[in-house]
């Protein structure tokens, strides 16, 4: 983490749009550099609201994300007090037998399962310890102007309009970014998005009757089945968030309880007693599959006035477990550039745009590829260098 601004230096007035994972982390980085940050979030404070269905409940945190959390002094809290290490993939065959594939047997590195709400909450809570961060929940950005740095918000509770000005506007407002929509009006701004034909639905394996894990916890469990797959990540309360990825047309075909149970008996037999038939039916028909989109765009900035980070700049499909991690890394890269250019915003934004897009495009392509690996290639003979669960 780089140094604070000296008293003589201009403190920027920064508006961050989006108080999700990346926006709330960026607020900490900028505030710790001495800038004044206003964080505007469309929804209510996540700490006061129950989890919205359809958004992943837990996430795999990797070294990129850990580095950023370390910079803002939160790595220990996340890793040692909350994160659950996942040291290997645990592959579930159709007959219910399993085997483990370690991520990094040489150096024993691993990824951590962390709760989205918890992570977002501790980032927001940490910002309350800094005098130069203001948080505005229930504020939806409707319009922005990069020439004069003005932003228009709608207050969701009163429907009043609010206009504010900022030296720098940072769009951390996710895959369907409103800041990015404004950028699309700029000449030479390139944009593409790709929906994949697969959607996802979240299910749950509850804790056992004694409150413990029903499966070995230090693994990312995968049921690869060729054109579709199911995965499970452990939660702090010993439950598992289970995510079924499958083409939308297959979701649609499973339109009765009988068909659902037949489908699970055929492909995910060992998961039925873990989830429980009743809960499986309730959760499957209680929700609807969500779409997955990948976004590529560039440049990420407009002069010294506006910047996109996180999913707003580069939403990726989730199969590489790197969307949030790459967004967190955006914040680390930015902080290094603020340090390098002594807080000269125009130089910082230009180099960020020029340097970052290649990495973002690469992560996006790897994530698309990794879906084929996770759901299919992992089962192929080239992966026969397997260790049994007992060996591992
Ligand atoms: P978001 O989390 O989308 O936050 C954007 C915020 O902006 C939201 O709070 C939203 O309310 C707010 N907002 C939107 N519009 C406006 C507006 N007009 N005005 C004000 N506020 C606005 N990544 C990983 O690294 N590891 C994983 O294991 C992983 N698993 C995933 C599993 C699934 C099923 C999915 C879908 C994604 C997964 N990801 C994972 C990706 C990760 O969720 C995203 O990359 C991450 O949430 C991006 O954070 P963000 O802050 O950029 O965007």
Q: Mind listing the pLDDT tens digit for each residue in 179-217?
A: 999 999 999 999 999 999 999 999 999 999 999 999 999
Tell me the HSE value of 117 on the side-chain side, using a 13 A CA sphere: 14
**What's the gap in Å between 21 CA and the centre of ligand 1?**
7
254: pLDDT strictly greater than 60: yes
Question: CB of 17 closer than 6 A to ligand 1?
Answer: yes
70: pLDDT strictly greater than 80: yes
**Atom of ligand 1 minimally distant from the CA of 40:** 20
335: pLDDT strictly greater than 80: yes
- Residue in this structure with the two tokens 């659902």, named with its chain if needed: 260
pLDDT score, position 378: 64
- Residue in this structure with the two tokens 């977002």, named with its chain if needed: 120
Question: CB of 153 closer than 6 A to ligand 1?
Answer: no
**What's the gap in Å between 60 CA and the centre of ligand 1?**
13
Please give the residue that has the higher pLDDT: either 49 or 265. 265
**Atom of ligand 1 minimally distant from the CA of 172:** 52
Average pLDDT of the segment spanning 221-242: 95
**Atom of ligand 1 minimally distant from the CA of 60:** 28
**What's the gap in Å between 50 CA and the centre of ligand 1?**
16
pLDDT band at 386 (very low <50, low <70, confident <90, very high): very low
**What's the gap in Å between 78 CA and the centre of ligand 1?**
18
pLDDT score, position 6: 58
Instruction: Name every residue whose Cβ is closer than 8 Å to that of residue 302 and which is 6 or more positions away in sequence.
Output: 146, 183, 186
Paired with 92 in beta bridges are 98
Q: Which two tokens stand for residue 264?
A: 């699970």
Concatenating the DSSP letter of every residue in 182-227 gives HHTTSTT-EEEEEEEEEEEEEEEE---TTS--SS-SSEEEEEE-SS
State how far the Cα of 355 lies from the Cα of 18, in Å rounded to an integer: 23
**What's the gap in Å between 301 CA and the centre of ligand 1?**
20
Average pLDDT of the segment spanning 363-391: 66
**What's the gap in Å between 55 CA and the centre of ligand 1?**
8
pLDDT score, position 377: 64
Domain boundaries, the chain: 13-84+113-193+295-370
Question: CB of 171 closer than 6 A to ligand 1?
Answer: no
pLDDT band at 94 (very low <50, low <70, confident <90, very high): very high
State how far the Cα of 55 lies from the Cα of 53, in Å rounded to an integer: 6
Cβ(51)–Cβ(57) below 8 Å: yes
pLDDT score, position 93: 95
Please give the residue that has the higher pLDDT: either 389 or 81. 81
Is CATH 3.50.50.60 what the domain over 13-84+113-193+295-370 is classified as, yes or no?
Answer: yes
C-alpha separations of 241 from 49, 176, 267 in Å? 19, 25, 18
381: pLDDT strictly greater than 70: no
Q: Mind listing the pLDDT tens digit for each residue in 117-159?
A: 999 999 999 999 999 999 999 999 999 999 999 999 999 999 9
Paired with 295 in beta bridges are 193
pLDDT score, position 387: 37
Residue nearest to atom 46 of ligand 1 (CA): 324
C-alpha separations of 23 from 16, 40, 124, 262 in Å? 6, 9, 10, 43
**Atom of ligand 1 minimally distant from the CA of 59:** 28
């Amino acid at each position: 983490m780089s140094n604070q601004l000296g008293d003589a230096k201009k403190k920027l007035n920064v508006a961050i749009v989006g108080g999700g994972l990346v926006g709330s982390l960026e607020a900490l980085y900028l505030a710790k550099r001495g800038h004044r940050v206003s964080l505007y979030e469309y929804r209510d404070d996540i700490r006061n609201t129950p989890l919205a269905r359809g958004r992943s409940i837990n996430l795999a945190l990797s070294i990129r994300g850990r580095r950023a959390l370390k910079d803002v002094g939160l790595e220990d809290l996340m890793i040692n007090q909350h994160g659950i290490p996942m040291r290997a993939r645990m592959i579930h065959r159709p007959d219910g037998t399993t085997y483990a594939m370690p991520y990094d047997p040489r150096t024993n590195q691993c990824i951590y399962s962390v709760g989205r709400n918890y992570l977002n909450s501790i980032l927001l809570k940490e910002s309350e310890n800094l005098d130069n961060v203001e948080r505005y929940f229930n504020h939806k950005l409707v319009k922005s102007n990069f020439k004069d740095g003005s932003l228009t918000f709608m207050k969701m509770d009163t429907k009043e309009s609010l206009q504010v000005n900022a030296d720098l506007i940072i769009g951390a407002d996710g895959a369907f970014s409103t800041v990015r929509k404004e950028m699309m009006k700029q000449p030479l701004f390139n944009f593409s998005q790709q929906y994949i034909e697969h959607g996802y639905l979240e299910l749950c394996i509850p804790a056992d009757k004694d409150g413990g894990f029903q499966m070995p916890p230090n693994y990312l469990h995968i049921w690869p089945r060729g054109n579709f797959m199911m995965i499970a990540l452990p939660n702090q309360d010993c439950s598992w968030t289970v995510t079924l990825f499958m083409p939308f047309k297959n979701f649609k075909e499973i339109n009765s309880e009988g068909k659902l149970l037949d489908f699970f008996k055929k492909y995910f037999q060992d998961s039925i007693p873990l989830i429980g038939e009743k809960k499986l039916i309730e959760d499957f028909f209680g929700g609807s599959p969500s779409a997955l989109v990948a976004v590529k765009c560039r440049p990420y900035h407009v002069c010294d006035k506006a910047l996109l980070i996180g999913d707003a700049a580069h939403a990726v499909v989730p199969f590489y477990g790197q969307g949030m991690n790459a967004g967190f890394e955006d914040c680390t890269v930015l902080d290094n550039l603020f340090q390098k250019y002594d807080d000269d915003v125009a130089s910082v934004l230009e180099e960020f745009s020029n340097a970052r897009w290649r990495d973002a495009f690469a992560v996006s392509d790897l994530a698309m590829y990794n879906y084929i690996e996770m759901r299919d290639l992992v089962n192929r003979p080239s992966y026969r260098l397997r260790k049994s669960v007992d060996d591992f």
